[in-house]
Structure 1
Amino acid sequence: MVRKKKFKPYKGPAGGWGSIKSVTRHMAKQKLLPSAVPELVQQNKPDGFMCVSCAWAKPEPSHPAEFCENGAKATFAEITKKRTTPDFFSAHTITDLRTWSDHDLEDQGRITHPMRFNRETDCYEPVTWGEAIAGIAAELEDIRSRDPERVVFYASGRASLETSYMYQLFARIYGNNNLPDSSNMCHETTSVALPEVIGVPVGTVRLEDFDDVDMILSFGQNVGSNSPRMLHQLKDATERGATIVTFNPLRERGWERFVDPQNPAHMLSSGETRISTLYHQVRAGGDIAAIAGIAKALLSFDDDACANGTARVLDTAFIGEHTSGFSKIEEFLRAQTWVDLERESGLTRKDLEVVAKIYGRARNTIAIYGMGLTQHKLGVDTVQMLVNLLLLKGNIGRRGSGICPVRGHSNVQGQRTVGIAEKPELAPLDQLEKQYGFEAPRKEGLNTIKACQGIVAGSVDAFVGLGGNFLRAVPDRDQMEAHWPNMQLTVQIATKLNRSHLFNGRAAYLLPCLGRIEIDRQQGDEQIVTMEDSTAVFHKSKGMREPASPGLRSEPWIVAQIAKATIGSDASIDWDGWVNDYATIRDAMETTWPEMFADFNERIKKPGGFARPIPARERIWKTETGKANFKTPRALQASFDDGEDDTILRLITLRSNDQFNTTVYGYRDRFRGIYGTRMVVLVNKSDIKRFGLKENDVVSLVTVADDGIHRRMDGFTVLSYDIPQGCIGAYYPEANALIPLYQHAQDSFTPAAKSVPVRIVPQDIAAAAQ
């Protein structure tokens, strides 16, 4: 489909009438006017369903409308009246569908029947559920007889706690820990960084902490598009007098101004709430230097206080009692020069000292961050540097303070909690063996990057995908798409068609499942499922709309059927009983994690859910030292390039206002004023001039890599944009082809998608070079 391109700066706030118009437009697009109102009213409510997009917390009591613009779009996409039927698949070959955009594929609507790929016709063809399950089991049994470690069991953040628990158990009984998930692509850095320094793999902030916060520091997170419901907490905090300081390469509207669509007075008066008091456009990969600059200034202010006999700026009592490694981080900070800190951060000493002064005076501070910190070569160091800053003032383990990673998909954090992890030490294997009578594999499994490398190398024979759009979400797309069809088996459990379904193994199945908003009846009884939000609180979710097709099955049912057919029935695992009553799955989870899930089935009924224990909130440090640990970063900048070659730019992959993860709802990135296209590159005005380009030129991006593979993408329209010099922006997932698999975060293997070293060249030159 040809769309008219338009570039028009947006002057409005986040929220407001723009949000209402967008919601109404998408409701009409999915043919839902006004039938979607009952779902919207119950979205993120105690007796309703958890939003299928972001994982931000559900307050109790809830707002009258507890959904955001993107959350509404996600709901409309799931309950759409559009259908992808067998007739559609018979009319379109896979080769033809590969020419379609991500948006147009998913916009066909809900998949209605289980499908099997026929290589001879190049089409998906309908099969019965029995045929699909038997065919999948036969392939998995064949591979298992040779080597069970050659199968990957991937899970997206959509799946419930119940499904995820069953899935990880199936994978381990099958014989491996190959359980990569969405977290590997975004917040695995958090899961590696935080346990080393505070002893927990999740954040320490609850919603109630925003009621007592004096200062909020935000790094690398776009609240307006990725977690808009958080704007309620930010608005309330700033109106109470809290100071919000944002560090992000691009100026994102959600961190600037907000109009609450649920406040009639705001809407009618066009009154806006200023969110950020200060906004600093840090250089991509320069957050370590920015944070180090704030901390260095804080030490200087503390020196002055000591010299003048006034109250200390640092919380020396907390540091002495609760931390380890302070002397090393102090030595590191004092050794840094302001010349280096300014160069790497792209900010001035004065800017950072002003932030340090505000931070030094604040009683309680929350530090929020997203993938702008995690998706770098030194992402782990960056997250730990932010924790260092909090520890200097005792801002962990005190109400109104803490570290707050903002997770993406709605249950991505919960999946890790119930065992979706490639690292054996993250799952209670001894307890699972005792509970289910099998010998659990102890070898570390494949994470997302290693799974991709295995597919390219030919050491992976099968991929089972529990939701998601894996092939579109991962780096090195051209390499991945070329090698994907070499696998023996691919299985995709999905609600809608996406590009991952167009690249298939020698045997391939597409299994349509119920969505979270649909009523899940088992043996005539309506089931609930559960998930964990970004603040480590568990919630229940109950579907309320009739299924899109009689041919759909629930994710627990699908996992149970494949497991039974593949590894056989066992008296210790009542797969059928679990499927008939999901409460029995929660009973099993309680047995596995008695401290975490005590009285699970009763506590989950509580409005607002119940919180998992987080020892660091109580200043109990489950670390090797028994204390919170200061960690010294390995370098001042987190990127793969060293910054010495000014022809190399740092590419930041971005999501638009009209998408969530890989799902593109439309072509209206309202906040950035980009309409009708996603093939744009955002460039600083001075860099446009420096490279001899003009606005609206069409250029290519070429990756700077040393693995001998030429990565180039053509067709980007140059747009002048307020972005730091030396940095450019392009949309995810389109630009993923430019990210080499080996360019990932050290220690966590998260793709380094926020500072990809590239060169920008006129397209005719790039084409000639090829």
Structure 2
Amino acid sequence: MAKVTIKPYEGPSGGWGSAQSVLRYVGKEGLARVTAALPHQNKTGGFMCVSCAWPKPADSHPAEFCENGAKATAWELTANKIGPDFFAAHTVTELLGWPDHDLEEVGRLTQPMRYDRAQDKYVPVGWPDAFVEIGRELRAIDPHAAVFYASGRASLETSYMYQLFARLYGSNNLPDSSNMCHESTSVALPKSIGVPVGTVSLEDFEDTECLLFFGQNVGTNSPRMLHPLREVSKRGVPIVTFNPLRERGLERFTDPQSPTEMVLGQETRISSHYFQVESGGDLAAIMGICKALVVLDDEATAKGEPAVLDHEFIREHTHGFEAFLDSLRGTSWKEIEHHSGLKRGDLEETAGIYVRSKATIALYGMGLTQHRKGVETVQMLVNLLLLKGNIGRPGAGILPVRGHSNVQGQRTVGISEKPKLVPLDRLKELYKFEPPRWEGMSTVDACKGIVDGSVRAFIGLGGNFLRAAPDRDRMEEGWKRMRLNVQISTKLNRSHLVASEISYILPCLGRTEIDEEATGPQVVTVEDSTARIHGSRAVAKPISEHLRSEPRIVAEMAKATLESSGHVDWDAWVGDYSKIRDAIEATYPDQFKDFNDRLWTPGGFPRPLAARERKWNTDTGKANFVVPDTMSSHGLDLTPDMLRLITLRSNDQFNTTIYGYHDRFRGIDGTRMVLFINPDDMERFGLAQDELVTLVGASDDQVHREINGLQVVPYDIPRGCVGSYYPECNVLIPIAHHAEESKVPAAKSVPVTLRKEDGRKAPAAH
């Protein structure tokens, strides 16, 4: 067991801590192989990071990667590998007892494997035999009962092939990792402004006069964003942050690429104002800012001064303003303060800052989307921008900060359970088949189907679904009852080890590894958070000759499953990925015009977005103000003994991948089993520092959920809220606890209670 130390971290984000972390991890994984690749990361003509989706600038830094991006590349290019010998030495039951970190740390998967129940081990299988059995099993299963899940890693080319395979098979069950995080965005924005993605480009940071930041931990989840934030701050632009925890990346930053800052220990202030809103209090906080703006506008009108609101924009470009105005006037400050956890003065101060800005960007992450009222909260943020005309203006707009590198792009090329979002008539015309028109399963729907037994097959294109999903214990029991479980993966994880009746591991090339096909080395493409498309060229030799590319695996499964390939030449596509891009362009001609010719546009080429041009593809033909039906984002009815759990990611992880046990910014080293809690709540519940407690789910569905052995850590977090790590705490999230319109698991406001563990204390070293 690692030594546990818990000590407040006093340094900035970035700086020597970041540099040391990169060197430590890169050195562990294989210095020569990784350092040869890193100079090409996120560069035009190089490979796009497999970590977050932050934009890749046209004028790149010498090292256009962050701490977690370097870890992601090192994780993929590790020299460690596991093959049949490893699986022969370990039963699946044994491996199920290993921590997530240790499973992936063993190394890269190198050969296809099939679970042998008699031995309780994975055994090697040939690629042709694997495809034959997978195809036979899929043909025997009702397409309504088969799920085709995609993580955010797969390229646009693979994603297009995957959705086409699923629909030719007869299924619209195409959930992806967007369902876990930003589906609230994809539901909210089309109703408000007519596009499902953000409107901000990287260039807008050069012109902005104010940044409003909500529920996103930049230092851990998208550290490369710290560079434009640093430049914005140095221009004197206010950055107003609303977040329950004080995250170091949102406070101050030392640029590791600046010798002067590193040597002299200089720091850049990031947030000019920092308000610790309660978990689920963002909707009320934004409502309060809007209300304060209206008051200022009323006062200006009464004095004969220039208006505060952009009334011309509101008249010409919006719908529903009067109803929203009535809602603002009818909402009391007492109600706003109660639900936000903030003082009226905080919100009036923010309104005053916002008024002085001629161009404002609003950024947000899962702190807004992963609540029961996540959709309404995003729409409220749009309302705030519309009041001042901050959509379709240079330096302004809304920016959802996406997580995984191509999660937004997958949706663009058809990975969606919602048939209305996919050009099915165009697919019908191109490939001469009748696509299914029924509504498919979202992630939450798939989880329900796995638990109740109606899902019989699960194909996983990357990711670690079983760890990322809510209600882990119930999910694992249902997972075992499925007929078929196929995981296209680079490393071992728990989704392989909770075996179904038939389970396959199909090891694939990573994005950094050269993909040699019939016409030579292939390139792929991804879409970033600002709807720009980038080419990605791999640089490293594959770790095993037995690996197959994701497009080839999808194609071979399709050929083995479908009675006829019809009008799809799978082999030609696999031999030359430019043909897949031609097919994408033929399907989405307005989005991908001259696709192959624009692959290497510095900074990526932009998809056209109507809202950027103030063209509103909504039901009213205008941008819509949306009136919320509540002031609470979390939508919970809490008793005095309940707390709201916020699930968190550490500085040493990306999504379900755990790189290590060092959460530097929060001062945790050697463990992930901690509970961050306000000192006042510690006193209220009679808790001592380092005491071990159990968190118990407080859902009213009569299902018992708990996680024990959490070490109490006093922390600067709002009263009534606690924090602990994802995915460990997913066991506490009921499948039914999700955003009401988007079905995103409400992982930022989970109702829980505390139970002491007989006064036991953790052996901490402080």
* Aligned partner (choices 693, 696, 700) of residue 702 of structure 1: 696
Partner of 1:12: 11
Partner of 2:409: 414
Q: Aligned letter for 2:71?
A: K
Partner of 1:109: 107
Partner of 1:38: 36
1:328-727 matches, within 5 Å, as: 328-523=323-518, 525-643=520-638, 645-727=639-721
Whole-angstrom distance in 2 between the partners of 1:648 and 1:586: 52
Q: Deviations over 1:447-500 (max 9, x none)?
A: 100001011111111000000000000000000001101011000000000111
Shift >3 Å, 4+ stretches: none
Equivalences, count: 760
Q: Deviations over 1:555-600 (max 9, x none)?
A: 0000000000100443510000000000000000110011111110
Q: Deviations over 1:326-379 (max 9, x none)?
A: 011111111111111111111111111100001011111000000000000000
* Partner-residue secondary structure (3-state), 1:539: strand
Q: Deviations over 1:197-237 (max 9, x none)?
A: 00000000000000000000000000000000011110001
* Partner-residue secondary structure (3-state), 1:36: helix
Whole-angstrom distance in 1 between the partners of 2:286 and 2:641: 26
Deviates more, 1:488-497 or 1:600-609: 600-609
Asked whether the equivalents of residues 640 and 756 of structure 1 are also in contact (C-alpha less than 8 Å), the reply is: no
Asked whether the equivalents of residues 380 and 747 of structure 1 are also in contact (C-alpha less than 8 Å), the reply is: yes
Shift of 1:253: 0.5
Whole-angstrom distance in 1 between the partners of 2:720 and 2:292: 26
Whole-angstrom distance in 2 between the partners of 1:570 and 1:354: 62
Whole-angstrom distance in 1 between the partners of 2:522 and 2:616: 38
Whole-angstrom distance in 1 between the partners of 2:77 and 2:168: 35
Q: Aligned letter for 2:98?
A: W
Shift of 1:29: 1.5
Identical aligned pairs, as a percentage? 62
* Partner-residue secondary structure (3-state), 2:324: helix
* Aligned partner (choices 129, 132, 137) of residue 131 of structure 1: 129
Shift of 1:607: 2.0
Whole-angstrom distance in 1 between the partners of 2:31 and 2:492: 23
Shift of 1:148: 1.5
Whole-angstrom distance in 2 between the partners of 1:295 and 1:753: 27
* Aligned partner (choices 311, 315, 318) of residue 310 of structure 2: 315
Partner of 2:756: 762
Asked whether the equivalents of residues 112 and 507 of structure 2 are also in contact (C-alpha less than 8 Å), the reply is: yes
Partner of 1:177: 172
Shift of 1:765: 9.8
1:29 aligns with 2:28: yes
Partner of 1:84: 82
1:159 aligns with 2:154: yes
Shift of 1:190: 0.3
Asked whether the equivalents of residues 517 and 545 of structure 1 are also in contact (C-alpha less than 8 Å), the reply is: yes
Shift of 1:524: 5.4
TM-score under structure 1 length normalisation: 0.98
Asked whether the equivalents of residues 640 and 757 of structure 1 are also in contact (C-alpha less than 8 Å), the reply is: no
Q: Aligned letter for 1:663?
A: T
Deviates more, 1:36-45 or 1:662-671: 36-45
1:231 aligns with 2:226: yes
Q: Aligned letter for 1:127?
A: V
Q: Deviations over 1:379-418 (max 9, x none)?
A: 0000000000000000000000000000000000000000
Asked whether the equivalents of residues 519 and 576 of structure 2 are also in contact (C-alpha less than 8 Å), the reply is: no
Asked whether the equivalents of residues 160 and 413 of structure 2 are also in contact (C-alpha less than 8 Å), the reply is: yes
Asked whether the equivalents of residues 243 and 275 of structure 2 are also in contact (C-alpha less than 8 Å), the reply is: yes
TM-score under structure 2 length normalisation: 0.98
Shift of 1:28: 1.6
Whole-angstrom distance in 2 between the partners of 1:693 and 1:614: 52
Partner of 2:723: 729
Asked whether the equivalents of residues 646 and 726 of structure 1 are also in contact (C-alpha less than 8 Å), the reply is: no
Specify whether residues 277 and 174 from structure 1 end up closer, same or farther in structure 2 by C-alpha distance, changes over 3 A only: same
Whole-angstrom distance in 1 between the partners of 2:136 and 2:398: 47
Shift of 1:35: 3.6
For structure 1, the 5+ residue unaligned runs are none
Q: Deviations over 1:89-120 (max 9, x none)?
A: 11111111111101000000100100000011
Whole-angstrom distance in 2 between the partners of 1:575 and 1:480: 34
Shift of 1:269: 1.1
Whole-angstrom distance in 2 between the partners of 1:594 and 1:49: 25
For structure 2, the 5+ residue unaligned runs are 761-766
Q: Deviations over 1:295-316 (max 9, x none)?
A: 1111111111001111110000
Q: Deviations over 1:609-659 (max 9, x none)?
A: 20001100000000000000000112101114234x221100000000000
1:201-220 matches, within 5 Å, as: 201-220=196-215
Partner of 1:50: 48
* Partner-residue secondary structure (3-state), 2:203: helix
Whole-angstrom distance in 1 between the partners of 2:259 and 2:38: 18
Shift of 1:33: 2.1
Q: Deviations over 1:407-439 (max 9, x none)?
A: 000000000000000000010000000000011
Shift of 1:708: 1.2
